[in-house]
Amino acid sequence: MVHTNVLNENAVVGFIGTGVMGKSMAGHILSKGYKVLVYTRTKEKAEDLVEQGAVWKQSVADVAREANVVITMVGYPYDVEEVYLGANGLVANANEGTFLIDMTTSTPSLAIKIYEEAKQKGMYSLDAPVSGGDVGAKEARLAIMVGGDEKAFEACKPLFELMGQNIVYQGPAGSGQHTKMCNQIAIASNMIGVSEAMVYAKKSGLDPETVLKSISTGAAGSWSLSNLAPRMIAGNFEPGFYIKHFIKDMGIALEEAKEMGMETPGLELAKKCMMN
């Protein structure tokens, strides 16, 4: 029986991975008065959250044993696999009835594997990758795409609403990750177009900021044009999302597309350009 609301007065939320985005996401939950346990490999990255009232834990297993809900936002699929399926991981150490929510962009096949392992232990697993970068995380307006059992999604929706605005249930386990691949494929070629457009504007003697006023609201309009182009123009290279992780995402999408017999020349070109 899925609990109708995971955020009751006894809720303890574990958050593993407090990097560029995870730190803000965990902060929103903490700011609403919930007990939040944090663990990350580099403890310094969690210091601000601890100062705000989060409780530091020494390991993934320690978080698992105490939390009702555990959210993960780590780097690569191998990190996800270790955190969830390792001997000291979540599935081996969490209590029956725990909700496990992976918000890392990872592989659909791994999301399905985690779901199946968790279900055998009486736990609920959701794959819920996000889009929106550091700004979306800071402003709690991430797009969250969710795969898993729909009842588990509904139970966790109040938690998702603390971190994002566009929250959509996509289907069974792995569906959230597949949706994120669609997102990354759409962004990849678009980023190249945005970069080339801004260079073209500058080389032709135009004012890039004035050019943006014309093209950002027309047919060329996109999130990347509205949010990333101004940062390019300002010379702001603070990471909203590390390129190494985007290259990882494109690699996953290429492998998934290959498995489905699909050709993705635009994605292949984008990955090649970003690796140079």
Question: For this structure, is 157 an active site residue?
Answer: no
Among the listed residues 57, 138, 180, 271, the single catalytic one is 180
* Position 30, amino acid: L
Asked whether 150 and 169 are in contact (CB, 8 A), the reply is yes
HEC string of the chain?
A: CCCCCCCCCCCEEEEECCCCCHHHHHHHHHHCCCEEEEECCCHHHHHHHHHCCCEECCCHHHHHHHCCEEEECCCCHHHHHHHHHCCCCHHHHCCCCCEEEECCCCCHHHHHHHHHHHHHCCCEEEECCEECHHHHHHCCCEEEEEECCHHHHHHHHHHHCCCEEEEEEEECCCHHHHHHHHHHHHHHHHHHHHHHHHHHHHHCCCCHHHHHHHHCCCCCCCHHHHHCHHHHHHCCCCCCCCHHHHHHHHHHHHHHHHHCCCCCHHHHHHHHHHHC
The CA-based angle 114-117-123, given to 5 degrees, is 90
Name the residues annotated as catalytic: 180
